[in-house]
Amino acid sequence: MNKVLTISNLEKSFHTRDGEIKALESVSFDVKEKEFISIVGPSGCGKSTILSILAGLEEKSNGEINFSKDYTIGYMLQNDSLFEWRTVLDNCLLGLEINKKLTKENKEYVIHLLKTYGLEDFMEEYPARLSGGMRQRVALIRTLATKPDILLLDEAMSALDYQSRLAISDDIFRIIKREGKTAIMVTHDIAEAISMSDRIVVLSKRPAIVKKIYDIKLSNKSTPIHNRKCKEFSEFYDAIWRDLDVHIQ
Amino acid sequence: MSTYSKEHIDYLKKQKKEKRIVFFFRLLIIVVFLIAWELLSRFELINTFLSSSPSEVIETTIQLLKDQTLFTHIGITLYEVIVSFLVATIIGFIVATILWSNKIIAKIIDPYITILNSLPKVALGPLIIIWVGASMNSIIFMALLISTFVTILTIYQGFARTNKSYITLLKSLGATKCQIFTKAVLPSNVPTLISALKINISMSLIGVIMGELLVSKSGLGYLIMYGSQVFNINLVITGVVILGIISYIMYIIIDSLENYIKKRRGSA
């Protein structure tokens, strides 16, 4: 498979009046086409910062980020950030409006996505009427509307309760695979990462370096909920847990 | 129409009953107050020369209507209030937008706006008369001083408190600052804008009356001031009552505007 993205020796420092905080010491990994990569690490290790930099919301301090082509990027935030004053459909059209690409064709594509993923009856509703899981699905369709090549998922499910999370991670996984997207997901949930990813990048605590990269090879790999039942699942879980080296201080 | 369950019908009945109780007691309070006031003055338990009475207030109102001065006074006061309200709204909105779009400017002038907002503007009354002259302009200027700064502050604070994740989202979609303003900051602040209008209209009214008390030859503030100078308490109280009615009507207008907007945005 072709590499879509190579990150080498990425560094990032934050500056405040009280001083300088180094978030990323040196982070290197690559991402292949249509791959699902998860980044896990101790809380506050700067994993979300990597996505912010990739999305162009933050400047890197040092290092290289090379996209093999001029890819477009879709960013899905932890918070669904649906605009309460816009209908579901209008929320999904936001990216097209911003980029002045709101053609009839693109609009139909968004409507098609909404229909495909069970939101047809809610297109003209306001977000307040939706459940947490549905809101997250709308947020994903909003991200997909601009037809991005690479999806960045920043703790996209962590605001949901556990049951909804399991269900929606299955949904989101299927949507991403069906639309043939490359995805980079940041999560603090090891099980979620193993169940969804092809590879997992484990970061150390701040300032972060890449501690290990796991190739998630499961026997009968299928959807996230099924993957949790694979026999290798708990081995990966234990290994990553040990890597994270969690201590309550 | 769909048929409701008995429980739902009972619920609706209960709601209706509650509404009726509220309306009844509202009315009762004002009626009892007016009757008590009237009776106390009829039986000369209070001095009508000092405290007037409802019948005398009505009489005075009719008198003012007869010599056709009442509507002139109301018209002038309303005109001044509306001019001040509109100008303060426009200035407030523009300045708040500038402050939002440029953090450095906001930081620089923040203390000045705070000082000007908390300064008791009546203290500037004499200065305004000297600078602007004893005319309608100085009344509007006084009202503007009172209403503009609080309007700026209310709108700016709303803008500055716009949900950060809306802005991050728009940035990730590649939005410009202008798009962030029109797509997120402005629409998410419609409730703020309405409350700014509410504050602004009452501040404008306060400012205009204050200005009219200081300098004027007409308007409700003048009517009240004139009444007190010639010791015509009927006139003073009539002026106050009419003011009360006007501010209530203005409140209702803005309130129904708020409800209309809420309904249109589907969040009611």
Q: Please identify among residues 65-94 of chain A the ones whose CB lies closer than 8 Å to any CB of chain B.
A: 75, 77, 79, 81, 83-87, 94
Domain spans in chain B, listed from the N-terminal domain onward = 6-46, 57-264
E-assigned strand segments in A196-239? 199-203, 208-215
**Cis peptide, bond prior to residue A207, ω within 30 of zero:** yes
> Is B267 an 8 Å CB contact of chain A?
yes
Q: How far apart are CA B37 and CA A55, in angstroms?
A: 71
Q: How far apart are CA B160 and CA B162, in angstroms?
A: 6
Contact A98/B165, CB-based, under 8 Å?
no
Contact A98/B188, CB-based, under 8 Å?
no
Contact A98/B266, CB-based, under 8 Å?
no
Q: How far apart are CA A63 and CA A207, in angstroms?
A: 15
- Residue B268's pLDDT is what? 38
> Is A129 an 8 Å CB contact of chain B?
no
pLDDT in tens, A158-179: 777 888 788 888 888 988 898 8
Mutate to test the interface with B, among A52, A58, A85, A90 (most CBs of B within 10 A): A85
> Is A159 an 8 Å CB contact of chain B?
no
> Is B182 an 8 Å CB contact of chain A?
no
Contact B153, B115 (CB under 8 A): no
pLDDT in tens, A89-124: 999 999 999 999 999 999 999 999 999 888 989 999
Give the length of chain A: 249
Residue A249 binned pLDDT confidence (cut-offs 50, 70, 90): low
Q: How many CB atoms lie within 10 A of CB B36?
A: 12
**SS3 assignment, position B19:** helix
Residue B88 binned pLDDT confidence (cut-offs 50, 70, 90): very high
Contact A98/B179, CB-based, under 8 Å?
yes
Contact A152, B173 (CB under 8 A): no
pTM of the model: 0.83
- Candidates B145, B148, B179, B152; CA nearest to B98 is B152
CATH of A3-244 given 3.40.50.2020, 1.10.3720.10, 3.40.50.300, 3.90.1410.10: 3.40.50.300
Contact A203, A39 (CB under 8 A): yes
Domain spans in chain A, listed from the N-terminal domain onward = 3-244
Residues pairing with A30 in the sheet: A6
Residues pairing with A11 in the sheet: A62
> Is A148 an 8 Å CB contact of chain B?
no
pLDDT in tens, B40-82: 998 888 888 888 889 999 999 999 889 888 899 999 999 999 9
Facing residue for B166 by CB, picked from A57, A83, A95: A83
- Residue B22's pLDDT is what? 94
**SS3 assignment, position A12:** strand
Q: How many CB atoms lie within 10 A of CB B168?
A: 18
Residues pairing with A32 in the sheet: A3
Q: Is B14 exposed, middle or buried (0-12, 13-18, 19+ CB in 10 A)?
A: exposed
Q: Quick one: average pLDDT of A40-67?
A: 90
CATH of span B57-264: 1.10.3720.10
Contact B87, B144 (CB under 8 A): yes
Does position A245 have pLDDT exceeding 90, yes or no? Answer: no
pLDDT in tens, B223-264: 999 999 999 999 999 999 999 999 899 989 988 988 888 887
Percent of chain A whose predicted confidence (pLDDT) is above 70: 98
pLDDT in tens, A60-88: 999 999 998 888 899 998 888 999 999 99
Q: How far apart are CA A185 and CA A193, in angstroms?
A: 8
pLDDT in tens, B151-207: 999 999 999 999 999 999 999 999 999 999 999 999 999 999 999 999 999 999 999
Give me the residue label for tokens 């947020």: A139
**Rounded (5°) CA angle A202-A205-A211:** 35
